[in-house]
Amino acid sequence: MQNPVYSTVIPVYNSTRTLGELVSRLDQVFTEIGAAHEVVFVDDGSPNPETWPILKALAEEHEHVHATRLMRNFGKAGAVLCGLRQAKGEWVITIDDDLQHAPEDIPILLEKKSHDVVIGAFASRKKHSVFQRVTSRIKSYVDTRVLGVPPGVRMSPFKLFHARVVQHMIAVDTTRPFIPALMLQSTQDIVQVEITHHPRLYGRSAFGLRRRIRQFSNLIFGNASLVLRFLAVLGVTISCLSLLYGGWLVLSYFWKEQTVAGWTSLMVVTLTLGGLIMFSLGVIGEYLIRIIERVENRAAYLEREKLR
């Protein structure tokens, strides 16, 4: 097999019926382009017993198809990172396994391959549920504010990376990888192209509320000091307000105004400060957990089996 020009990394979770079609359509796309390519599947600990046998069969049938099975479910980002470390192409494409991103749209990304990263974003999200659209908008806002995503660029799993960017990304040692953060640490030369949103052909998305919360947590705690800075600002603000309130009480006393120690105001102040303290302890605890994970040298993923 000749060295691939393009590598397509595909994280897999429980999928079965789309995998063979995905390989066939990728082969057709790169045959028309006239470039050698490879397909790197990473099974992210799928509980579906049919997933790995299908990936294994595809790898045995096609020389350019590689498959890796992780020890357990590490999350989509860990599976993508595993695939990036195996990719050998000069350009690396990441795409989901559900065919909502069409392989036939890859040439649209390649038109902009003079840039470090090309993101294929849906022109319309009408095929997503209201929950998915709302959470995606929130995440896009946080991506811009926290990570510094260029204005007008929306994150998407469908991306084209130059190999030099991939090398910088996989060099970062992290137990909880977040692909957009790793990408933005490496380059700001990012452009977006619009692609068509195709309906999910089989099953339902496994990327539910729990996975979205975990992704958001990795974004906030693992890639920015935003929470700590927010707490610092909040603490200073409350301290200033407390001083002003204390000064007002002193002046009220000297002005002989009728002042009665109120149970309500006391409880409000107590609960506000107590809540702030508990929230701060929770944030500190989250950071300590991540420090412990780094000290213990936990892996972002563990491989169980690899074919080629």
Interval 120-173: pLDDT, tens: 988 765 555 565 556 566 666 666 666 667 777 888 899 999 999 999 999 988
Burial class of 126 by CB neighbour count within 10 A (0 to 12, 13 to 18, 19+): exposed
Q: Which of 59, 79, 69, 47 is nearest to 19 (CA)?
A: 59
**Low-confidence residues of the chain: pLDDT under 70:** 1, 124-148, 200-236, 238-265, 267-268, 271, 274-275, 278, 282, 285-286, 289, 292-296
Query: And the tokens for 53?
Result: 């046998």
Residue 193, phi then psi, degrees to nearest 5: -125, 155
Find all residues with CB under 8 Å of 83, minimum gap 6, and list them.
9, 10, 11, 40, 41, 42, 68, 94
The whole-number pLDDT of residue 191 equals: 94
Q: What is the pLDDT of residue 174?
A: 81
pLDDT for position 18: 93
Question: Could you tell me which of 75, 15, 19 has the C-alpha nearest to residue 302?
Answer: 75
Q: Which pLDDT belongs to residue 105?
A: 95
Let me know: does 224 contact 146? Beta carbons within 8 Å.
Answer: yes
Beta bridge partners of 41: 10, 67
Q: What is the pLDDT of residue 178?
A: 84
The CA distance from 118 to 246, in Å, is 56
CB 169 within 8 A of CB 159: no
Residue 176's pLDDT is what? 79
> Does residue 206 come out as left (phi exceeding 0), alpha (psi in the -120 to 50 range) or beta?
alpha
